[in-house]
Chains A and B, each alone.
Chain A
C-alpha cells in the first residue's frame, strides 16, 4: 500500500475554493490536539478561540477593528502575489506610513480640519510606498531578490520608529514614556458612535471592492494576471515586467502605509514602539486564504481578526500563552499551502505491486 500524489489533467476548480475550508478544518483539529496536549479542555478552548469572540458586541467590534488593517494590507498583497511579485515587508511599510503620516499631529497639532486628516492619510500612503520603492528599485535595477530586501527593511523601519518615540518625537509632557503626543480632534479618524469601529473599516472595504473591479474588469488587472500566470506571455502582450514590479510595490506599500496611519490615528491615537501585532505578516496569510481575490480577502481578514481576539480570549480564560494566536496563524498558512497542492494533484492509494513475482 502506498499513498501517492498524482497530477490532475486539469486544475480542480472545486479544490481552489475547498482548499481554504479544508485548511481551516485541519487547523481546528490540530489546534484542538495542541490544547489537549497542554492539558486544556480542547472543545472549550476551541469554542473560546473561534466562537466566543462573535457572541458579544464589544468583541465583534474589536474583530472589525482588527479586520480593517488586515483587509487593507491583504488586498494590496493579493494583487502583488498574483503578479508573482513577493512583497514580504508590508509590516515595515505599515510602520513607515504611520511615521510619515504622524508628522502632521506631532508638528502641526493646531491644524484642525478634515483636510489635515486627508493629508495624514495621503502621507501615510506615500510613506509606505517610499519604503516599498527600495526593494522595487533594487529588483528592477540589479535583480536583487525582493523577498529578502523587503523583509529586512521591516526591522529598519521598526528601529526607526523605536528611536523616534524614545527620542526626538517623545511627548515632552509624557512622564518619559516612549510615546508621542496624543492625537486630537480632526487628526483622529472618526468612529461610529461611541464605539471603537472607525472609518478605516469602510476605507478598507471600498478599496477591496475597487481592486476587485480593477482585477476583473480593467486592462491593468489583466496585465497583473498575465504576468503572474505566464511572464513570457506578458512580454508577448507588450507588458513590462519591470513596470509591474513597480506597480505592485507602490500599490501594496501604499496600502500598508495607509493601514499604518489609520491604525495610529484610529485605533491607538498616538505613536508608540508597538503599533501593530504583525498585521503586515498576518496579511500574507489573509491574501492566500482569500485566494488572492480581493473579495475573498475581506472574509479571510475577518477570520484572521477572530484569531487575534480568540487568542486573547483563551489567554484570559485559560491562561495559555498569548503566542497561541501566532501558532494558529502559522498552522493556517501551513495547511493552506499544503492543501493548495490538491488543486493540481490528487491523492491516490496505490495497491501493493502485484505482478512483481
Chain B
C-alpha cells in the first residue's frame, strides 16, 4: 500500500544521468526454480531499451515484477532514485508505468471507449473521455474510432486501444511485450513511429521482443537474458542479428539450408471453393478458399493472427467437418466430411498451433501423447492400437524413443510428463511425432511459435527435408522470416479470404503486407460476392 502513495517529486529536475528505473540484483524464485537470478537493469528516460531472450529466459518474470504483478524474492526496484515495493499493477500505473500485453484483455462486445473506461482509475473516467481518446490517437498516429465495437477491429487496432489506454495515464515508462507479433509489416512501422515520438517526449520504453532486426532498428540499449541471468548489456546498433542471436542462445544458431524445389509433383492437397461458417460469434468465416499443394513443395499461408488461420486448420484436420465432401481432397480423395483419423489414414498429418492442451495433453506422459494422434493410424507400419484393449505399450515406448532421438527432444526422463518439457522441446516432440510417420501431406499451424532459436532451426530443417522427400506441406504462419525461410509458394489469408498463391522468390514483405491488409480497405460486402479468383 505504502508505495502507491509516493508523490511525484518534480520529475524534470532529475538529470538524464539518473535512471528512471533501476533494477538492482533482483531475484525471483518459484520453489526451487530460479526464474530470475540477480538481475541488474537500468532504464533511462527517452530511450527504448530492448529486453531479449529466448522463451523461458525470464523476461516475463522480470517484467511482471516491474509491473507489480509479482514480488521479487530479493533485490530492489528503484524508481527515480527511491527504492520501493510495487505491490500491484494499480500501484505501478499510479507511478507512471504502463504495459501493453501480448494478449489483450478486451471485451469484444463493448466499444473502444467503454473498454478503455473500464481499465482507467475513476478520476480519469471523465465525460470527455471519448474526445480525449480521439485526439490522443490522432496525435500519436494511432487512428482509432472510439465508438467502434472491439469485435469489428483488427488485431492491430486492438493493440492501439491498449496503447491509447496507457497513454491516457501519461506514463513515464511504457512496457511493450512482443508488440509486433500480431502486426503486419506496415502496422509495425506505424508503431515504431509512435514509440519514437514517445521517447522524444521523454518517455522510457522497455521493449520485449525476439525479432532481432526490429530491435536493431528501434532500440538504443539491449539487455539479454539467458536462463534467468543477464548475459549481456550492449548497444544493438553495433551488433548484427547473428551476434544478438548468439548471445540469446549461447551457441551459434544452425542455419537452415534449403535447395530449390526442382520439380513439384502431383497435387496432394486441394481445396475447392471451401466455405466454413464460424460456429462461435467471434470466429472467422472461411469464404471460397481455393488452394493446391503439390508433393515436394512447401506452401505457406501468411497472415496476421485472427484472420481465420485457426478455423482453416480445424477444417483441414477434420476436427471440424465440412458440409461438402469435395471441398477438401487429400491425395485425390474427397475428404471434407471425414473425421481426423480417416484423414490420417490417407497419409495426412496435422500439427496444431497450441502445444499444451491441443497437440499434447500436459498431464500425460510422452508415450501416452504418442497414442494421442497415432491410436487409429496404421500407415503401413505397425498400428499402435488394435481393438478395445490392444494398447501396445512397448511399441509406443519405442516410437517415443525414436522421436526423442531423431528430433532431439530433451526431457528429465524419457517418459516425462509432457507439461514438464520446455516449449521448444515439446514442440519438437509434437512435430516429430507426426514426421516420424513420413506423412504424404502435412498441415502445420505456427510450427515454431514461442520456440527457442535452436529448436526452430531443427523443426524448419525437418520440414524442408520432408518436403524434398516428396511430401506436400502446408505451413500456416505469422512469422515472415519463417515463411521466407521455408516456403516455395506463399498465399495470404485475410479476414477468411485466401489470396492466390505466388512463388516465394517473386514476393517481398511489402507485397505480403499489402495482401494482409487488403480486406480492411475494400468493402466487406463486395468481397463476399466476388467469389474465389
Contact = CB atoms under 8 A, between A and B. Distances in A.
Given A229-B363, A230-B361, A238-B339, A219 B354 contact: no
A238 B371 CA distance: 11
Given A217-B389, A222-B368, A232-B358, A238 B84 contact: no
A209 interface: no
Nearest to A355: B85
B389 A218 contact: yes
Interface stretch (B252-260, B372-380, B448-456, B462-470): B372-380
B31 interface: yes
B388 A220 contact: yes
Contacts of A56: none
Among the interface residues A220, A225, A237, which one has the most CB atoms of the partner chain B within 10 A? A237
A33 B376 CA distance: 56
B371 A222 contact: yes
Interface in A216-259: 217-220, 222, 225-226, 229-230, 232-233, 235-238
B483 interface: no
B391 A218 contact: yes
A236 B85 contact: no
Contacts of A356: 1-3, 84-85
A236 B341 contact: no
Contact of A219 (B3, B363, B385, B420): B385
A346 B83 CA distance: 29
Given A235-B319, A355-B85, A356-B2, A222 B359 contact: no
Interface stretch (A6-14, A110-118, A186-194): A6-14
B319 A236 contact: yes
Contacts of A233: 357-361, 372
B388 A219 contact: yes
Contact of B361 (A226, A235, A355): A226
A353 B376 CA distance: 56
A290 to B, nearest CB: 18
Contact of B358 (A9, A220, A230, A353): A230
Interface in B181-206: none
B350 interface: yes
B471 interface: no
A235 B361 CA distance: 12
A8 B1 CA distance: 26
B371 A236 contact: no
Nearest to B386: A219
B419 interface: yes
A356 B88 CA distance: 13
A357 interface: yes
Among the interface residues A9, A11, A225, A354, which one has the most CB atoms of the partner chain B within 10 A? A9
Nearest to A4: B71
B336 interface: no
Given A10-B419, A353-B85, A236 B33 contact: no
A188 B511 CA distance: 81
B372 A236 contact: yes
Contact of A236 (B83, B87, B352, B362): B352
B373 A237 contact: yes
A236 B317 contact: yes
Given A229-B364, A230-B361, A10 B85 contact: no
Contacts of A236: 317, 319, 340, 350, 352, 358-359, 372-373
Contacts of A357: 2
Interface string A5-41: 0101111000000000000000000000000000000
B442 to A, nearest CB: 15
A9 B319 contact: no
B425 interface: no
Contacts of A354: 85
B55 interface: no
Contacts of B375: 219, 222, 237
A355 B83 contact: yes
A181 B231 CA distance: 85
A355 B357 contact: no
Contacts of B389: 217-219
A186 to B, nearest CB: 33
A32 B388 CA distance: 49
Interface in B72-87: 76, 83-85, 87
A355 B76 contact: yes
A238 B341 contact: yes
Interface string B16-45: 000000000000001101000000000000
B362 A230 contact: yes
Interface string B338-368: 0111001000001010100111111110001
A6 B28 CA distance: 13
Nearest to A233: B361
Contact of A353 (B87, B354, B357, B419): B87
A230 B30 CA distance: 26
B276 to A, nearest CB: 15
Contacts of B368: 222
Nearest to B387: A219
A10 B33 CA distance: 11
B31 A9 contact: yes
Contacts of B83: 355
Query: What 7 A-B pairs come out closest when comparing CB atoms?
Result: A238-B341, A356-B2, A230-B357, A232-B358, A238-B340, A235-B319, A355-B85
16 contacts: A9-B31, A9-B33, A217-B389, A222-B371, A225-B364, A230-B362, A232-B354, A233-B361, A236-B317, A236-B350, A236-B352, A238-B339, A238-B344, A346-B31, A355-B83, A355-B85
Given A10-B417, A230-B358, A354-B85, 11 more contacts: A217-B391, A219-B375, A219-B390, A225-B364, A226-B364, A232-B352, A236-B358, A346-B31, A356-B1, A356-B2, A357-B2
Interface of B: 1-3, 30-31, 33, 76, 83-85, 87, 317-319, 339-341, 344, 350, 352, 354, 357-364, 368, 371-373, 375-376, 385, 388-391, 417, 419-420
